[in-house]
Chain A
Amino acid sequence: MLLSTRGLSKRFEGLNAVQGVDLDLPEGEIRALIGPNGAGKTTLVGMIAGRITPSDGQVIFDSRDVTRLPAHRRIARGMAYTFQITSVFARLSVAENVGLAARRHLKGPKVQDAVAEALARVGLTAQAGDEAGDLSYGHQRLLEVAMGIAQRPRLLILDEPTQGLSEGEIAGFETLIRDLARTTTILLIEHNMRVVMALAQRITVLDAGRVLAEGTPAEIHANRAVQAAYLGGSGDAASG
């Protein structure tokens, strides 16, 4: 297992945001994490990446207990996290945004190559010299992904990466993720069910802070409890 959580929980003053989550993510898998708004998805990945301190439980990454490591040390061990709310360096150039991600593990001329490669993969080569804050919202989302790619992570956590992307951009994004999955394990929070069904090898459904179900897209599609809690019966409706 590349990533495991055991009994991972977070309580915010009286609210159990995440309760006793056991998650096992083998190397090379694309795993989708779905659930209604407020199910605790972002809190869960926040605890995995170290942005949020868990109230209870463990995070094991690459067979080491990283529960007590600060976020930057987990990232240095091979995690990457792209933000749900776009969080790029708005006043720095697109290339410098990706450069910062690449320089964490590369030096000298290799940095430029890595930056060029990451920008090419998300299709932002032409915008390399622009200020990141001037990009359209969709392009800023892609820049987030490019920063994740440039980190060359073993585990890439994507928090709602397709939010705000056009249909055409989503199709390109799906191709990109399949391509990335050959070298990287991916944990994907996603609301767009079409993207989830197309990409994920397995799906974990979170509801009210607990794991409601886990399985292949077909199994989740057929699961009554999931339909009741989340999909509203139709199975392919995109949820906001």
Chain B
Amino acid sequence: MADGIPTWEEVARDYGRFLYTVAYRLAGNDDDAQDLVQEALLRVRRGLERYEPGSLEGWLARIVTNVFLDDMRRRKRRPTSALPDDPDRVVPPAPAADVASRELPAHLQEALAALPEDFRVPVVLCDVADQSYEQIATTLGVPVGTVRSRIHRGRRLLRTTLTEGAA
């Protein structure tokens, strides 16, 4: 690492798991996560010269989020298959005798994948990528108040999905 700027190999090796986790939580499946990570690493390679030493994870989270949002826009223009956001495709978690608390972690990923994109992205950036509201606002190009509202509504929707699924 020279002058605080990592090489492409260092990013892939040291932050690959972080990138993959954010990609997987955004996309909801391995195939799409792999595509997102690969495209994100291409953009990392092209953008490393412009990287200003700071929060590398923040920079990477922004890149993978932009890749995800670009991909979603492309799919919306040319829908070829059901998307994770499609409410008809989402299978609610199987009913359980015990409710939310015990089942919460087990079904969280499914509920997260079912969350509309507008809520899922800020929630993932906040709770998976550990970004501040200010950073998320910059990444998404929306006011901080919008980020605050979407994160709260996203969490509430998640909770509702989990509770209804467990009832």
**A-B complex is real:** no
B residues at A contact (CB < 8 Å): none
**A positions within 8 Å CB-CB of B:** none
